[in-house]
Amino acid sequence: MRGLARKALILAPASLVGQWVDELTERFALTPVAADAQLVRRDEEFWTREPLVVASLPLARQAAHRDRLCRRPSACRPSMKESSAMRSLAA
């Protein structure tokens, strides 16, 4: 990354998580981690430790994950045109 962000969470439809991981790896030489329910359930520090995460919208909407993701108001500030997807986290 260009140093503009230390952490990023990309929310995508569940069917596109793998594609996003592949695209970020191939096109930008980044090393994203795909979040899945089993992984985040086993690892309580997953959301805070990983610098680049691609997660499905349904996973991020789950109460336990939503609370961790939105613990700080700045973590829930949308920064992309898909802001409606981020707003749905708070719903």
Predicted pLDDT at 77 = 52
Q: Taking 50 as the threshold, does the pLDDT of residue 46 lie above it?
A: yes
Query: Sorting pLDDT into bands at 50, 70 and 90, what band is 2?
Result: low
- The answer, as to whether pTM is greater than 0.85, is no
Q: Taking 60 as the threshold, does the pLDDT of residue 74 lie above it?
A: no
33 within domain boundaries:
yes
* Owning domain of residue 21: 8-83
Chain mean pLDDT for the chain: 78
1 within domain boundaries:
no
Q: Taking 60 as the threshold, does the pLDDT of residue 15 lie above it?
A: yes
20 within domain boundaries:
yes
2 within domain boundaries:
no
Q: What is each CA distance from 63 to 19, 24, 25, 32, 68, in whole angstroms?
A: 25, 27, 29, 23, 9
- The DSSP string of 31-81 is --EE--HHHHHH-TTHHHH-SEEEEEHHHHHSHHHHHHHTSSGGGG---ST
The tally of domains found in the chain comes to 1
Q: Which of 10-14, 19-23, 62-66 has the lowest mean pLDDT?
A: 62-66
How far apart (Å, rounded) are the C-alpha atoms in residues 50 and 17? 16
